[in-house]
Structure 1
Amino acid sequence: MEKATFAGGCFWCMVTPFEEQPGIHGIVSGYTGGHVEHPTYEQVKTGETGHVEVVEITFDPELFPYERLLELYWPQIDPTDDGGQFQDRGTQYRTAIFVHNERQRELAEQSKQELAASGRFNQPIVTEIRDAVVFYPAEDYHQDYHKKNEKHYKEDRAQSGRDEFIEANWN
């Protein structure tokens, strides 16, 4: 098993693209990249801890290669926005790929370069590729939020503009 960690704005919206895929053994919403130990959601949402909201995915690379995770990741985000994602603004909602080894780094860098060269976007790709650091799972009520609070999740996602962006830029 390996880990993959992706930041793409609100972590609630980053779970569904990856779940129920063969070889994906777990997805945990959480925080990484900051300077406060064991941050809470209330601390992270201020933008002052340095953390970003992420999903940490446990996967079997034999069944679901890292390249496939990257192929699923990019179309979930606006890789040109360095101020957050969609309605979620602030550094805690910026995009990033946190790599767990050199192979992941090489593949992430290659996929970023390919996206930049594709001409899909007129602006630079600003999604960072960073070393994975300590990951802190989010509070229980954030785990599987889309299932536990389906109505609120759907309302929030509909208001966010994410789906319209994906439809306009990725489909």
Structure 2
Amino acid sequence: MSKLQRYIFLSLLTAAALILSIIEGMIPLPYIAPGAKLGLSNIITLTIVVVFGFKDALLVVILRCILLMLVATNPITFIYSIASGIMSTVVMCLGLKYFKRLSLIGISVLGAMTHNATQVTVAAILFETFNLYYYLPILSLVSIFTGCFVGYTTIFMSDNLSKTVLKLGREV
């Protein structure tokens, strides 16, 4: 895959992550835990971590957060999004590198838990109260289920990308 093809493909993945974030904001979820989401854009992030690596994944996360703020949210939401996106990407990359026995599902659950812990930490700092950490066990339970969903979907996507698009890119 040439450098130009790589940038074009990463641009498409950034657009896909942005669209998934916007769609996710429109999905009415049962009131299990306020702020709990499916993490659909993390499918793209973890796929990029697996296929392209840390730097590209971090670039896509930062671009997605900035674009999402400009299109659909506000600066306060951006603070939560950028901090948790960066931290979960770092943890997923470290997990992939150092925890070889963990599957992508386990890596995804680690990323989801890190995402929630970072958001609670940012909220605790912004609201100057640590009582919000009582909410973390509920979010951690939700992140197990969302992390499994994201992990399964990432396995499917990365397998299909390596068989189709990336294989075609090597032949050009």
Give TM-score, length-normalised by structure 1: 0.27
Instruction: Say which structure, 1 or 2, has more relative contact order (CA 8 Å, 6+ apart).
Output: 1
Higher helix content, 1 or 2: 2
Higher strand content, 1 or 2: 1
Q: Which has the larger radius of gyration?
A: 2
Give TM-score, length-normalised by structure 2: 0.27
